[in-house]
A = this chain, B = another copy of it.
Amino acid sequence: MGVIDKVAPARTGRSKAAAGDVRAELPLDQIVMGDCIAAMKALPAKSVDMIFADPPYNLQLGGELFRPDGSHVDAVTDDWDKFDSLKHYDAFTRAWLAEAHRILKDDGTIWVIGSYHNIFRVGVAVQDLGYWILNDIVWRKANPMPNFRGTRFTNAHETLIWASKGEKAKYTFNYRSMKTLNDEIQMRSDWEFPICGGQERLKKGGHKVHPTQKPEALLYRVLLACTKPGDVVLDPFFGTGTTGAVAKRLGRHWIGIEREPGYCAAAIERIEAALPLDESALATMQSPRSQPKVAFGVLVENMYLVPGAVLTDAKRRWTATVRADGSLSSPCGASGSIHKLGATLQGAPACNGWSFWHYEAEGALKPIDALRQTYLLATQP
């Protein structure tokens, strides 16, 4: 881990790099010190699994302006008006978002956080560049700064945009982990966290090191939701390295880009002190989608259910008989797979046979999915 000035330029002459090759070119677990867009240009295409970005949005607040390359503009001498500054902020936003699109793997996703000052411009750029928005997420601040002058509503939230590379693109979403994290209820699009303070807030000489340090809890949820252990996360506006610290804790690789040497130094010190969780703690609830599939017929072959056994739905409205090949037949003459027959009998477009069909055990009805779980426990190492 460390700070580097420049990424080794990508070798040329390759018709198509293998995935391993691309990864070898990445400055894993390092900070690239320098201009955000220039540093991004040096990274290989389709190489990172997620990008988390907390771009500057102090434009118009302190009268600060940025050129498309992110460099600072002296507003007094340049005499720009508000519309010039919006235009240039848009150009800057599109430039780094376009590089991000190139660097992302096809099944990667991007997260961008902002406030009403900039998030609308970011959102339009995201859509115009072909990304496909999956959710907008609201970070509700448990303890926001009040509006001291009583002129507006307390500005008590920030907005995050989560997007895939395109409408049809695949992406990682650890649905079960999110549901578990939220006491077995689907995770919603509004998240409550305290603002970053206390021990977590980096300070030097009694002053905060970075004006907009994000809470680690926020990054924890983002990374847990949309990456897998070992994935690579890029943060092009690294600041004091919240993304890196959480990534290290969660067993993910990180790459930071940051212009200010002072922030880089604080980030390095902080990430070195972060302790990775051990492997058993990193295990998370798996979606049935990622578990090995068990065909219903396998349960019949292994005598978990005998051909001729009678199944019923939970309310005993229908019955069906198990046949030797793992299909079901109904007294009405219909037959098919557990899913198809369930759908046919209900007149529904689809049906999950595993939860629809039940068998009788000890006087109670149990879904046949319980048999599948028993089978999995008995056969999986």
Binding site for B on A (CB under 8 A): 64, 66, 68, 70, 82-83, 86, 115-117, 119-124, 126-128, 133-138, 140, 142-144, 146-147, 150-157, 159, 161-162, 167, 173-175, 177-178, 180-184, 186-190, 193-194, 216-217, 220-221, 224-225, 250, 277-278, 280-285, 287, 293, 295-298, 300-303, 306-308, 321-327, 329, 333, 335-337, 339-340, 343, 346, 348-352, 377-381
Complex partner residue of A120 from B86, B120, B144, B278, CB under 8 angstroms = B120
The distance from the CB of A275 to the nearest CB of chain B, in whole angstroms, is 9
**Minimal beta-carbon separation of A277 from chain B (angstroms):** 5
Chain B residues positioned under 8 Å from A133 (CB to CB): 116-117
- Complex: how many Å from CA A285 to CA B180? 33
Nearest CB in chain B: distance from A216 CB, A: 8
A70 and B155 form a contact (CB under 8 A): no
Given A142-B379, A183-B339: A155 and B189 interface contact (C-beta under 8 Å): yes
Q: Is the CB of B151 within 8 A of A325?
A: no
Task: Judge whether B157 and A281 touch: CB under 8 Å.
Answer: no
B350 touches A66 (CB 8 A): yes
Report whether B150 and A324 are in contact in the complex, using a CB–CB cutoff of 8 Å.
Answer: no
The copy count of this chain in the complex is 2
A323 in contact with B86 given A155-B135, A180-B297, A380-B142 (CB within 8 Å): no
Please tell me if the beta carbons of A189 and B156 are within 8 angstroms of each other in the complex. yes
Q: A220 to B188, alpha carbons, bound, how many Å?
A: 25
- Cα–Cα distance between A147 and B126 once the two chains are bound (Å): 23
Q: Are B182 and A157 in contact (CB under 8 A)?
A: no
- Identify the closest chain B residue to A136 (Cβ): B116
Q: A116-B133, A326-B180 are in contact. Are A154 and B281 (CB under 8 A)?
A: no
